[in-house]
Chain A
Amino acid sequence: MPFKSLMVGLVCGLLVWAVLDVIQTRSLEKIFSDHLQGQLDAAVIEGRIRFDQHVKRQARTIKLLAANTLISDYLSHDPWRGHRDDDVIYYKNLTPEWFPPVSRWRGLMQPGHVLLLDTSGRVREDYQVSREPLPDELTNIDELLLRQTQQQAYMAMISGSPYLFASEPVLGRDGQRRGYLLLVSRLDSAFLRASQDSLPTAGAVVALLGGDERRVLASSSSRVLGVDVLLDSVEHDYLVTGQSFFDYGSSDFRLQFVTLVPRTQVAVINAEVLDLERRQRVIAALAFVLAFTLVMVLVSGRINRLLHRVTSFSQRTLGLNMRDIGSGDQLILLEQQIGVLTTEVLETREAMRKHHELQLSESEAFKAAILEAALDTIITVDHNGRILEFNSAAEKAFGYPKSQVMNRELAGLIMPDEFCETFRAGIASYLADTPDGLMGQRLEVETVRHDGSSFPAELVVTPAQVGEETVFTAYVQDITRRKEAELEIQLLANFARENPNPVLRVDRDNRIVFANLASEPLLSMWGRASGEMLPDEIARIVDSALNSGVDVEHESEQGDRMYSLVISPMQEFGYADIYGRDVSETRRVEAQSRRNQAELIHVSRFSTMGEMAAGLAHELNQPLSAIVNYARGCTRRMNKGDIPEDVMHQALDEITNQAERAGEIIRGLRALVQKREPIREAVEINHIIEESVRFSEYEAKKNGATIELDLVEDALEVRVDMVQIEQVVLNLIRNALDAMQVTDMSERNIWIRTYSTSDHVEISVRDSGPGVSDKGLDRIFHPFYTEKPQGMGMGLPISKTIIEAHDGELWVQSDKEAGADFRIRLPRFEGGEKADE
């Protein structure tokens, strides 16, 4: 495509250029030659003027010389006295004394001879400036010549050569004419050259012609144009332009001034100009071709696009399958396309018009077809309720063929008896202009099929005026499916109704809009009934749930009843559902379980105490034995009668002390064994340890074990049930003692350490036993796991339960070398207040 444009552009450009070249060259040549002629004429005139000026300069020079005082002085004292009349003084290569210094006048003129004449016109002195001698004819100058030459420069042929003369009388000091100065210059090529400072065209020659045959008398270049050459013989080589002299009035020969320009020269210039012109034209043509090609490319691109658009437009709108734009002349193609398009548009318009007409004519049939094709049952009746139209959907729905029902009364045909009257009355009242509301209403009616079966339907009756007649159209829609769906929704609703847990729905005003059967106990607990407002406590929560849009869980409790409620807000519908669950039983079981656990802890404590009974007995035995010893000692001393009173008091004090000690032990024992509700109080951790160790000391001694305490110096407090924590510590000590049964007696040690971490208090009970086996580490806190032959496996699990109930931790670290290290961590109590629960 661009190639083609390029080619067309090129050819066009070349053609235009070729024509232009011919025409322009011709006209240019004519213009040039005209112009050249003009220029030559001007040059000739200019040459003549220069020549004239040169000549005038000669005349002026001679005037100047004549006016010179030198010559005036010279002639005043009669220089030629004593000379003969024909005796001429020649000055050659030297300057006469009457002549001003050379520098003054050399630039003004280049005469051949300057002659000094006496008053009679006889040549007396000859200053020869050029090399040529003075022609003999000029030794005696006649009066006429002098007169003529005084007026202006004068040209004359002297012995076949043209000469220029200019004269001026010379006055003496006294003002008397003493003689004449005559300037004689030969009009040779040197003179001509001098006259012409430069010529307008190189190679041009100026010449003086003489006579009718136009013979060359002198030329500026004798090499090019010799003397005596006839002008006619050179006219084919030169372009000659001439002008006659009229001012130098010589009658004997007709002088003519011509300028010759060589024709070759003109031709060269002409060619140069044409060449330049042609080059410019080529450049211009190239630029034109390029621009043209570019424009062609752009235009053809545009046309192509336009063509494509036309094609696609026609394809889209008219469904025409036009020839695709291939190659070829786009413009022609465009024209074709537009032609085709126009035709097609016209045809299509025609077709549409026909189609429309057809449609109009078939409108009625079409309506009937629609009626037939309608899925809904459409029946038209006249004012008597007789069937005018019965579409195929109606045939299908009711099982009657159309032919069978035409003109029969609709009411009796498909409507149940109880509706027939309503229908008739509706029509009648409409016709009587007292509509009763049948028209346009959606009515649910049980309709009857041909075979006697029935189905629920939605019936709409609308009146229509057809000419004078009022007809009624009944739209009957089978709503069996809708009924089923409604039923299904109803059944779904039963989910909530029959839910064994309470399900309620409340509106934004906290009114109970729905409550299922199972919510009865909940409502009675609240003292509310369905339709009433929620109790304030619940209402507040429902409000917040509705505001946040997030489900809220809540427990509602009263007496021994407790309900767990999930309030699920439906913000966009402005109500909330409450799903309840009766958790009274669960809570009761949980409470029971807690009690059972307490019981278990207690029983376990009892068992621990049982195991420690021997130790406790020993513990109690000590003070009792001491009391006995003191008492007996006193008795013996009293029997002897040698007892000082103060010593006696001392002994009695000891007895009291020991009795109190025994009482203390009993109290501790009671506290440990007593069954009571767990209490929490602030206790010093060291106190717990000391108490526990006291109970287990005997046991430890019995086993030959020592218990070393490393207790923290500060009074660290924990808020615990002291008895329970003691139970744990005792249990750990007992475990340690049991574990060390395999250890050598002398190496049985228990180290108990208390220390604090940032906000916790920790107890470490470490023994020198064999440690806990790897298997044991995993399971040591599991119930019924034991490594002791007679163990129950309940001590550690219960201990762990107790510690965890105190928000603490119980764990074990074990090392074969270092034995087992049980750690208890409890939250540190910093309140100082002795608040009891």
Chain B
Amino acid sequence: MSEPTVFVVDDDEAMRNSLRWLIESVGLKTETHDSAASFLEAYYPGRTGCVILDVRMPGLSGLELQDKLSFQDANIPIIVLTGHGDVPMAVRAMKSGAVDFLEKPCNDQLLLDCIQHALDQDAEQKADMSLKTDIKSHMAQLTPREHDVLEMVVEGTPNKEIAAALGVSTRTVEVHRAKVMEKMQANSLADLVRMSMVIGLVHEEAEAEG
């Protein structure tokens, strides 16, 4: 995995340069952009890091940038900087998925902590993302019948009931189940359930019920 980058997007040059000066003082790689458009040009989903965004910019605004990024499924963490007392805007930013918001002028430690936290979150997300990708690719190998069996198995349905529901013999269910385990590369039923939960096939509530 490449070195994470802190993207500073602000139309005020002094602001950009001073942030870079501060962030680089803790040894983080920093990249500055004077507009959202310029950042989007330089960014691709694989890049790790976080974005420090001035919520008010001419052209593509911070909020619009957030929308664009989530559409690209690039869950890069965004830290929003706001002017004094611009709370409603900050709330909207958080709701749109920003990890944090800070009021200018902000405490340097707070900012750096936020950045660190965001970078961690990003790294985690990136890992999580690769797991999900694996599970999804395994699941894609299942036949429709096997997919049905998987869904019922992770919901905790006994083999007999599965057989009755599908109108096949228990023996057949067992064969399907073994194929599912094999294709999903699951060592145990608990493993299979966890995988299902990762990709959102099973919700927490369902799990609890199960």
Q: Which residues of B contact A658 (CB under 8 A)?
A: 14, 18
Q: Which residues of A contact B21 (CB under 8 A)?
A: 629-630, 633-634, 651, 654
A736, chain B: closest CB distance, angstroms: 15
Check A654 against B108 for contact (C-beta < 8 Å): no
A709, chain B: closest CB distance, angstroms: 13
Q: Which residues of B contact A745 (CB under 8 A)?
A: 61
Knowing A618-B84, A698-B83, A701-B56, say if A625 contacts B18 (CB, 8 Å). Answer: yes
Which of B22-30, B36-44, B122-130, B138-146 participates in binding chain A? Answer: B22-30
The verdict on B19 contacting chain A, using a C-beta distance below 8 Å, is: yes
A628 to B19, CA, bound (A): 9
Check B56 against A626 for contact (C-beta < 8 Å): no
The verdict on A622 contacting chain B, using a C-beta distance below 8 Å, is: yes
From the candidates A626, A632, A634, name the one contacting B15 in the complex (CB within 8 A).
A626
Check B83 against A621 for contact (C-beta < 8 Å): yes
In the complex, how many residues of chain B place their beta carbon closer than 8 angstroms to a beta carbon of chain A? 23
Check B57 against A701 for contact (C-beta < 8 Å): yes
Q: Which residues of A contact B18 (CB under 8 A)?
A: 625-630, 633, 654, 658
A575-615 residues at the B interface, CB under 8 angstroms: 614
A53, chain B: closest CB distance, angstroms: 162
From the candidates B25, B58, B104, name the one contacting A621 in the complex (CB within 8 A).
B104
Check A706 against B22 for contact (C-beta < 8 Å): no
The verdict on A541 contacting chain B, using a C-beta distance below 8 Å, is: no
The verdict on A667 contacting chain B, using a C-beta distance below 8 Å, is: no
The verdict on B67 contacting chain A, using a C-beta distance below 8 Å, is: no
Instruction: Find the residue from B56, B84, B105, B108 having the highest chain A CB count within 10 A.
Output: B105
A96 to B53, CA, bound (A): 187
Nearest B residue (CB) for A657: B14
A381 to B5, CA, bound (A): 144
The verdict on B17 contacting chain A, using a C-beta distance below 8 Å, is: yes
Knowing A617-B84, A621-B84, say if A633 contacts B14 (CB, 8 Å). Answer: no
Q: Which residues of B contact A630 (CB under 8 A)?
A: 18, 21-22
A640 to B57, CA, bound (A): 34
The verdict on B12 contacting chain A, using a C-beta distance below 8 Å, is: yes
Check B104 against A625 for contact (C-beta < 8 Å): yes
A352 to B104, CA, bound (A): 134
A292 to B84, CA, bound (A): 137
A634 to B25, CA, bound (A): 8
In the complex, how many residues of chain A place their beta carbon closer than 8 angstroms to a beta carbon of chain B? 32
Q: Which residues of B contact A636 (CB under 8 A)?
A: 22, 25-26, 108
Knowing A629-B108, A636-B108, say if A654 contacts B83 (CB, 8 Å). Answer: no
The verdict on B200 contacting chain A, using a C-beta distance below 8 Å, is: no
A701 to B59, CA, bound (A): 9
A657 to B15, CA, bound (A): 12
Check B83 against A617 for contact (C-beta < 8 Å): yes
Q: Which residues of B contact A626 (CB under 8 A)?
A: 12, 14-15, 17-18
Q: Which residues of A contact B85 (CB under 8 A)?
A: 614, 617
A622, chain B: closest CB distance, angstroms: 5
From the candidates B15, B22, B83, name the one contacting A633 in the complex (CB within 8 A).
B22
A636, chain B: closest CB distance, angstroms: 4
B91, chain A: closest CB distance, angstroms: 15
A661, chain B: closest CB distance, angstroms: 7
Check B22 against A654 for contact (C-beta < 8 Å): no
The verdict on A770 contacting chain B, using a C-beta distance below 8 Å, is: no
A650 to B85, CA, bound (A): 31
Check A625 against B105 for contact (C-beta < 8 Å): yes
Interface string of B108-136 (1 = CB under 8 A from A): 10000000000000000000000000000
A698 to B11, CA, bound (A): 12
Q: Which residues of A contact B108 (CB under 8 A)?
A: 628-629, 632-633, 635-636
| Shortest 9 CB-CB contacts between residues of A and residues of B | A629-B18, A632-B108, A625-B105, A636-B25, A626-B18, A633-B21, A626-B14, A618-B83, A633-B22
Q: A623-B14, A636-B22 are in contact. List 12 more A-B contacts (CB 8 A).
A: A617-B83, A624-B104, A624-B105, A625-B18, A627-B18, A629-B22, A632-B25, A633-B21, A633-B24, A636-B26, A636-B108, A745-B61
- The contact sample of 25 A-B pairs, CB cut-off 8 A, is A617-B85, A622-B12, A622-B15, A623-B14, A625-B18, A625-B105, A626-B14, A627-B105, A628-B108, A629-B18, A629-B21, A629-B22, A630-B22, A634-B21, A635-B108, A636-B22, A636-B25, A637-B25, A654-B17, A654-B21, A658-B14, A661-B14, A700-B58, A702-B56, A706-B59
